[in-house]
Amino acid sequence: MTHGTDESLNLSGPGVRPLAVDVGRHAGRVAGALYLVCGLSVLQVGIVAPAVIDQQWAFLGVGACVVLLGVVTIGLAVLLSDQLLARLFGWAALVLIFGAAGLTSLGLLFANASRWNVGSLVYLLAPIFGFYLLRRPWAIAVVVADGVGYAVVLWFTDGVAVPGSQWFFLMAVLAATAVMVGGLADRADRLTRAEREARLELAASHTQLEARVADQVDQLARLERLRRFLSPPIADAVLSAGTNDILQPHRRRIGVLFCDLRGFTRFTATAEPEDVVELLEEYHESVVSVLGHHQASIGAFAGDGIMAYFGDPILVEEPARAALWAAQDLHGPMGRLLEVWRGRGFDLGYGIGIAYGYATLGMVGTESRCDYTPIGSVVNLAARLCDEARSAEIVLDHRAHAAVAGLVRAECCSLELKGFDGAVEAYRVAAPSPGGMVRPLRNVG
């Protein structure tokens, strides 16, 4: 049994206004209290002044019925569950409101209409509750029933000097009261509907706000994951696509670039650890800055080795050309960096390998530590070509060279690479191409 209000339930029925459960309970308690007051008043008159009553026991019986209805009404309003109250309220309201007129007519008939003062109070109560609880046609029917019932009583009883005037006076009071209460009820209905619509709009706004917050939280979580292996601008661009599909394993043709330092092992054997850390920081900062400018995704750092790839997750028109353009742009900052370290007495260089082909890309690792990276022979090939590159040299595989044909002057060579059967055709690019031969690439997606 529930006594709280379930806002999803309305009290309704044949001709009854839609009311909230708590309103119905309140109306039931008030109606029951008024039944008790009127019933006890009738019993008091029947007991204290039996001489003015034509049929005492019948009069007392009607009073007892009114008291009993009051007790039952209050009990049902308090004890019934919300669901059962919603189911029974409509019919119960009609029975109680129309029953008030019938019981009052019987009481007046048994007591003699000249003693109408106490019993006629119920005639006033029925239309009040009728116009408050019932739709307008049914509320008007209550007034008509009251008028007809009292007219019948006046017709069959004696002792009233001017029955017509008495009936007119009572009906005028009933009609005026009914109109006033009906207007208030209609206004209350409008206010209730407006409040309900406002609550629904507020709930819809809250729902939309919660959805937006949840979406933003999800985007932040995705951005946090993406920024572990992508630069923030690229991670933001991936998020703008609004999908996680790109994080799932997929195949795509990409350009892979490997860059590492020449003489780094000898350098670490003779330099102080602080010098090694400082060199790596400056080296990584220089390379990553250039690669990020060319929309590269940084795949891995392995000591002095850096792997980057072009064409995923940010699509470019020509991944091989993007890799070559980035590699050529590395000549300037890398030359200046290594010149500084040569001035400190360290003979260092760098080499770059570029391969072009299909790879499988996606999340690799465990839930606690994972990376977004390419897997495939094109990655291994770029790493091996980087190993074969001389200082300040770029080595291309034959697919990458075909994709950039005419943009660079390259020397064809055959290389024996670890992990590859037979000689591998490759192309050595010793110096940057003349300015303007390769153009920056636009985003495709």
Q: What is the pLDDT of residues 81-105, one digit of tens each?
A: 877 777 777 777 777 777 777 777 7
Residues 376 and 251 in one domain: yes
Predicted model pTM: 0.51
Q: Is residue 127 part of a domain?
A: yes
Check which CATH number belongs to the domain holding 382 and give it: 3.30.70.1230
The rounded Cα 156 to chain-centroid distance in angstroms is 69
Residues 314 and 377 in one domain: yes
Q: What is the domain range of residue 51?
A: 10-203
Compute φ and ψ for 112, nearest 5 degrees: 90, 130
Whether residue 159 has pLDDT greater than 70: no
Residues 259 and 347 in one domain: yes
Residues 336 and 416 in one domain: yes
Q: How far apart are CA 21 and CA 82, in angstroms?
A: 7
Whether residue 434 has pLDDT greater than 50: no
Total structural domains in the chain?
A: 2
Q: Is residue 182 part of a domain?
A: yes
Q: Is residue 292 part of a domain?
A: yes
Q: Which one of 203, 224, 243 terminates a domain? A: 203
Residues 158 and 296 in one domain: no
Q: Is residue 444 part of a domain?
A: no
pLDDT of residue 401: 93
Residues 272 and 194 in one domain: no
Q: Which whole number is the average pLDDT over 202-207?
A: 85
Residues 189 and 241 in one domain: no
Q: Is residue 419 part of a domain?
A: yes
Residues 171 and 320 in one domain: no
Q: What is the pLDDT of residues 133-142, one digit of tens each?
A: 777 777 778 7
If pLDDT is split at 50, 70 and 90, which confidence band does 243 have?
low
Residues 194 and 273 in one domain: no
Q: Is residue 224 part of a domain?
A: no
Q: Which one of 185, 203, 221 terminates a domain? A: 203
Q: Which whole number is the average pLDDT over 385-403?
A: 93
Residues 170 and 287 in one domain: no
Q: Is residue 134 part of a domain?
A: yes
Q: Is residue 373 part of a domain?
A: yes
